[in-house]
Amino acid sequence: DTGVSQDPRHKITKRGQNVTFRCDPISEHNRLYWYRQTLGQGPEFLTYFQNEAQLEKSRLLSDRFSAERPKGSFSTLEIQRTEQGDSAMYLCASSQDSLNEQFFGPGTRLTVL
């Protein structure tokens, strides 16, 4: 399978705990995006990377959120001190420089109790 992969697919955590999600993009794609999708809504942009550089962050990305892409390949999204409002589907997408199509992974569904 050469698509975008995300791990874990589901995560249930208690409020106040830290969680980390991983995204592996399509191998030749140098751009990587994180989105968040809540029930009944479209995905909302969180942040994106070109190679290892984080080029844009949404206002949705509070100080409790941090994303990294240390070697320009996979990326991690960490949420510290989770809150119930963080419950959502976290989607990762990747694209190439010369193309604009973003290909999405299956998402990580986070439930904060």
Partner 1 sequence: AQKVTQAQTEISVVEKEDVTLDCVYETRDTTYYLFWYKQPPSGELVFLIRRNSFDEQNEISGRYSWNFQKSTSSFNFTITASQVVDSAVYFCALQSNFGNEKLTFGTGTRLTIIP
Q: Which residues of the shown chain bind partner 1 in the complex (CB under 8 A)?
A: 31, 33, 35, 40-45, 48, 50, 56, 58, 89, 91, 93, 95, 97, 100-107, 109
Q: How far apart are CB 97 and partner 1 at their closest, in Å?
A: 7
Peptide bond into 25 cis (omega under 30): no
Task: Please count the residues of the chain.
Answer: 113
When the beta carbons of 30 and 80 are compared against partner 1, the nearer one is 30
> Tokens 């794609």 sit at which residue?
29
Q: How far apart are CB 81 and partner 1 at their closest, in Å?
A: 26
Q: How far apart are CA 75 and CA 90, in angstroms?
A: 13
Q: How far apart are CB 17 and partner 1 at their closest, in Å?
A: 23
Residues 6+ apart with CB under 8 A from 88: 36, 37, 38, 109, 110
When the beta carbons of 17 and 105 are compared against partner 1, the nearer one is 105
